[in-house]
Each structure stands twice: as C-alpha cells, then as structure tokens.
Structure 1
C-alpha cells in the first residue's frame, strides 16, 4: 500500500483538470434534462480519455519531452510547423485565459454557498473578494514551483471533491438498476446530441494531452515506470469520470426547468435533502474550481514553453510569466464579473477544432519508431485511437455548429 501511494503520479492532476465548473454545469444539465439516460456518454468519455492520456504519458516518459515540443521538432515543413504552433498557442494559451475566469467563478460559487458574497466597491466596480482569495491560493501553489507540493495539494482537493459529490449522489437515493441501464445501453433522447458531445468534450480535454506528457517527466524517468503511469492514469481518470457521473445522478433527482447550472443544483437539493446536501455540493464545486484554476495556467505554460522552445522548468521566468498572465486575467474577469464573450467564443471554436487535430498529431507521433522505438502504438491501441479520432471530429463539427449555427445537425 505504501508503494502504491508512492507511485501516485500526475493522474489525479489530469482528473482535477477535466472536472472543472464547466464539467459540473454540463453534467448538471445532462442529469436535469435527461435523467440517467446519458450516463453511457460518460462511460465512453472515460474510455476515450484513458486511451489518449495513456499515449500522452507513454510519450512523455519515453522521450522525456512535452507533446508541444515533440510536435515542433517532428514537423519539418516550415509552413505546417508555423500553422500548427499558431493554432496550438491560440487555442491553449488564449483559450485557457478565457476559461480561467469560469474556473475561478466556479470555486467562488462553492464558497458563496457557505460564506455569502463579500465584495469591495472600488472606482465604480464591485470586486468579488472570493475571486481574489482563490486566485491567491492558486498563485502561491504555482509560484512555489515544486511538483511534489502541487501534486499533494491537488490530490487532496480531488479526494475532497470526489467524496463531496459521491455523498451528494448517495443522498439522492438513486435507482441502481436505472443507473446501470443508463450507463450500459446508449440512448439518444430528442434534443440530446449536443449534450452528449458536450459531456465527451468536457472530459476528453485537449490541453490535458499536453499537460500529462509534461508532468510525467517530473515524476518518472525510466521506461520501467510505464506500468506505474498506466495504472495511475486508469485509476485517476476512472475516479474522475465517476465524480462526473455522481453529478449527473444528483441532478437527475431534481425535475425542474429552473435548474440551469451547478449553483441552481445546490439550491435545488436543499428542500429535498436538507441544508447539508447543499454544503457537500458547495465543497465539491469549490474544489473543482480551484483545481482547474491551477491546472489551466500550468498547461498553458507547458504548451507555450514547448511551442517556443523555452525551458519548461516550473521556476523559470518565462514559464512563470505565462501562467501568471492566465491567472491574472481569470481573476480580473471573475472578480469584476466581466464576461469575455468574444474570447470565450473564440476558445470554443479553437478547442473544438483543436481536439481532432491534437488527437491526430498524437496518433501520428505514437506510430513513429524514430520517436518511441519499441514503445510505439500496437494495432489494438491504434484501433481505439482512430475510433476516438472519429468521435473528436464529430465533436469539432458540433462545436462549430453550435457557435455559428451552421445547421450541420
């Protein structure tokens, strides 16, 4: 058992990254709108995430390099290299800056359920002090620049979040047979397509592929460590997916059209199950917000370093400058209640396009013997990988359809 805990790696950080306030909101809407019927989409998402993240972790351990760095060095054509780097930098760095405000706001919603809404009037603006508090916590953990400290902090928050959402789901006393039916037998209720794709999109996160490949180099150095990385990935992603399923289950117990986000879910649970249910959900929402508020800037810094050929040391000035930029923007937008609609719209489009592109890049690299040698993909891994690539293309089309109303579906 001691050896097992010793070899816990970046897996929980990856789980922390994909269970953010956006995921909580999407899962809430899925549960309220369709009950248990879309749980199968989460099962599919868990499998897809495990397959892609295992590839990313294997790539990082064997090469001791990040994914963006390998893409930069392996693309020889200058035009293709420029386009790939520009696309990745735009989608990950600018996109994460936009979503960071949502991550911090999610953490704030959790705290507000317990502490109210403390604010400070300044120069005609109302500054939410809780946003500043969460930003400061994230800043301190990132500035320390110690992987082990960051790992322990995020693992603790993930455990807290998991327990909170699991207890909330248990309190609702769900029908186990209905849960199994929803998880194992795919259904496509009317109007559910975009919700299904949103569930997949909030779990199979493009920036996690970059983050995982970089973080494993901090934890493991030898090829013999691959077995630890694989086990770490499977357990962490499974538990992360279980948290998302618990949120769907909790939301399914409330059949109300007034539920639109996780904050409404917290209020909706109170008359049914007492005030303690609201507090469990609040703790989970706070933990999901702050973990994503840490991992999003960290991923952006790793991507920028790899794309631009910088050192990816967590204490270097350029690395810190990137995550500080992302974090400060998130705190400002969140604390002033500014909604960067145009930036978020761009981020949605860029990330929607990016997922199949990065999945394609990953599969291409994972089949290069010159990069991975004997550890390149097997036929079985490629079959799963290309199936997921097809799903990610569907996700890309749905994202474009949603943003631009192209009537593709």
Structure 2
C-alpha cells in the first residue's frame, strides 16, 4: 500500500482535470432534473475514459514522449500533419484559455458559498477578490513547484474533493435501491444532451495529451506498466465516484431552482444542516483549483509537443504558455466577462478534436515499429473502436448543439 501511494500521480492529475466546475454543475443538473436515472451514463464514461487514458499513458511510458510529439513525428505528409497540429493547437490552447475562467469562477463559487462574495470596487470598475487569490495560488504552485511538488499538492486536493463530495452524498441519505436502479439504462430521449454532457465532461481531449506528458515525466521503461495501470484505474474510478456522488447529492436533495453547483450547496443547508453545504462548497473549491492548474499545464504541454520545443517545467517558453492561459482566466473571471464566442469556438473545436485525437492515438498505439510488444491487443482494439465511435457521436452532437444555439 505504501509503494502504491508513492506511485500515485499522473492518473490523479487526470481525475483532478476532469472533475472541474463544469463536471460539478453538469452532474448537479443531471441529478436535479433526472434523479438517479443517469448514473449508468457516468459509468460508461468512466469505462471509456479508462480505455483511452490507458492508451495515452502507455504511449507516454513506452516512447518517453507526449502525444503531440508522437503525432508530429509519426504523421509524415506535411499537409495532414500541419492541419491536425493546428486543429489540436487551436482547440486545446484557445479552448483551455476560455474554460480557465470557468475553472477559477467555480473555485470562487465554492469560496463564496462559505464566506460570501468579496469584490474590489474602483469607481465603476469591480473586480472579484477571490478570483485574484485563487489565480495567485495556482500561479505560485505552477511557478515554484517541480513535477513532484505539484503531484503532492494535487493528491491532497483530490482527496479533499473526494471526501467532501462523497461525505455530502451520504449526508443526503439516498435510497440505496433507487441508486442501484440508476445504473440500469432507462433514460435516453429526455436526457440526451445531458447524457452527452456527462460523458463529455469525463472523456476530455486535453487529458489525453496531459496524461502521456505526465507519465513521461514520472516513469521510464515498460517495467512500470503494471503500476501505471493500477494507478490509472484507481484514479479514474475515484474521479467517477466523485461525479456519481455529486449527482446523488443533487437527486437526493430534491431542491428546486438549481442552475449550478453553488445553488445546490446553498440549497442543501436548510434540508441537511450546514455540514452538507460546507462539504459541497469545499469540494467545489478543490475542483475549481485543480482544474485551474491542469488546464494551463495541458496547454503548455500541447504547445511544446506541437512546436517541438525542448525542456520541461523549468523552460521559459513552457512557462510563458501556462502564464498566458492562467492570466486570461483570472481576468475573465475577475471582471465577470463571459467570452461566449470564444467558448463556442472552443466547444466546436473540442467536439471535432476528441474523435480526431482518439483516432490518431489509436493508430499510434497500434504501430509495432513504435510500441513494440506493447502495441494494442485485439481486445484493446475492440474496446478502442467502440470508444472512438462514441467519441465521433459525441463530437457531432456537441458541434450540432452549439450551431443550433449560436
């Protein structure tokens, strides 16, 4: 157990990345509107996430390179290579810059559920104080921390988040029989877009880049493959349990008028006492902080791989990318700006890039010249094809949804 805990890291950071404010909000709304009936969708998303993230992590371990570096190296035709890299670059970097405001705002909502709002007013200009504090915390952790320090901080934050949400779920006292029924697929048409959102918040394109990069930073050589898989499965399942706990909280509370997770945190107080409110608020705070750190980090890894930069965490160019993404998030969150057009572009790009990245990941991990004996098995290929088909469906649906609401 001691050795296992010592090896926790890349998978935990991936879980931290997909359990952000968006996931908390989507799971809350799913629970409020559909009760426990969509727990099966979360279960499918966790399985799909494990399949894709295992391929990404294995690629990083065997090659010692990130996913974007491998795509750049393995795609020989310049036109195809450059087109794919530009799409990846725009979707991940611009998308993460837009979503970073949501990550910081989610952490702010967690703080405000406990302490109340706190704004700095200068004339007609108002700036959220908590956005600055949370942004500064993320900046210091990324600037001063080596990979090992960041890893330890994330393990602490993820366990705080997990305990907060799971304890809150128990405090709401859900009926076990109804919870178990939720894992049997029954709800399809009424919650179609909610199902897409639940799967889409778990299977995240930038995590495929982040995971391969983090694994190549932590481990070297195929001898670490067994511990990599154990750590991955444990971490993704833990993240899935957190998502399920949030949905269960929302379903059991039976609170009306919920628009986001902060409303749920406040709404739980009169029903279940202040403890439920504080646990949920702490979980939302931790979820926002972890995603606020991983999004800029993933963007920096993608740029590094796409442009062929050398160096890692200490590189000036690497730092400049995550600083820009983080600063944009702080500014957008602090002044309350909602960059709708940028976010719409990011949603379309991510909807397109997930199946494309999943396809190229699948192609690369089947190359014996690159992966050797660790290329995909027949069983892994069957699972991979199923997940890629799901990714294409989700991508088309998410793009169509944005176009309809443009």
**Fold equivalence (TM over 0.5):** yes
Asked if structure 1 preserves the Cα contact closer than 8 Å seen for 2:9 and 2:155, the reply is no
CA distance in 1, matches of 2:300, 2:136: 18
Report what 1:306 is aligned to: 305
* Range with greater deviation from structure 2 (289-298 or 185-194): 185-194
TM-score by length of 1: 0.97
Cα displacement string for residues 347-374 of structure 1 (whole angstroms, at most 9, x for unaligned residues): 1111111110110010000111111011
Shift of 1:9: 2.5
In structure 2, the residue matched to 1:174 is 174
Query: How far did residue 395 of structure 1 move?
Result: 0.5
Q: Tell me the equivalent position of 1:369.
A: 368
Distance 1:123 1:226, change over 3 A: farther
Q: Is residue 40–residue 186 contact of structure 1 (8 Å, CA) maintained in 2?
A: yes
Q: Deviation string for 1:218-272 (max 9, x for gaps)?
A: 1111210011110000000000000000000000023344111101111111111
Counterpart mapping for 1:156-305 below 5 A: 156-183=156-183, 185-305=184-304
8 Å Cα contact 2:4-2:231 kept in structure 1: no
Does the residue aligned with 1:203 lie in a helix, a strand or coil? Answer: coil
Query: CA–CA distance in 2 between the matches of 1:311 and 1:158?
Result: 30
| Residues 306, 312 of structure 1: 8 Å contact kept | no
Flag structure 2 segments of 5+ consecutive residues without an equivalent: none
Distance 2:58 2:387 in 1: 18
* 1:360 lines up with 2:388 in the alignment: no
1:152-190 Cα shifts (integer Å, max 9, x gaps): 00110000000000011001111112211211x112254
What is residue 17 of structure 1 aligned with on the other side? 17
Measure the CA separation in 2 of the matches of 1:145 and 1:76. 36
Supply the distance in 1 between the matched residues of 2:180 and 2:247 (Cα, whole angstroms).
Answer: 13
What is residue 4 of structure 1 aligned with on the other side? 4
Post-superposition CA distance 1:53-91 (Å, at most 9, x none): 111110000000000000011111111011001000000
Distance 2:266 2:252 in 1: 13
**Which residue matches 1:329?**
328
Runs ≥4 residues deviating over 2 A: 188-191, 254-257
What is aligned with 1:49? 49
The gaps in structure 1 that reach 5 residues or longer are none
Corresponding residue number in structure 2 for 1:58: 58
CA-CA distance at 1:331 after TM superposition: 0.2
Partner of 1:317 in structure 2? Answer: 316
Q: Distance in 1 between matches of 2:316 and 2:190?
A: 48
The 2-side partners of 1:313 and 1:255 are apart by 48
1:57-76 superposed matches below 5 A? 57-76=57-76
Alignment partners' CA distance in 2, 1:215 and 1:145: 14
Q: What's 1:349 paired with?
A: 348
Q: Indicate if the aligned counterparts of 2:296 and 2:323 stay in contact, CA closer than 8 A.
A: yes
Determine the C-alpha separation between the residues in 1 that align with 2:101 and 2:15.
19
- Do structure 1's residue 107 and structure 2's residue 113 form an aligned pair? no
- Cα distance in structure 2, aligned partners of 1:87 and 1:262: 32
Contact 2:25 2:261 in 1 (8 A): yes
Task: State the TM-score, normalized to the length of structure 2.
Answer: 0.98
**Whole-angstrom CA distance in 1 between matches of 2:96 and 2:310:** 20
Shift of 1:18: 0.2
Deviation of residue 2 (structure 1)? 1.7
Query: 1:145: how far off?
Result: 4.1
| Count of residues in Structure 1 that have an aligned counterpart in Structure 2 | 405
Contact 1:34/1:189 (CA < 8 Å) preserved in 2?
no
1:100-127 C-alpha deviation (Å, 9 max, x unpaired): 0000000000011112111111353211
- Which stretch of the first structure deviates more once superposed, 372-381 or 3-12? 3-12
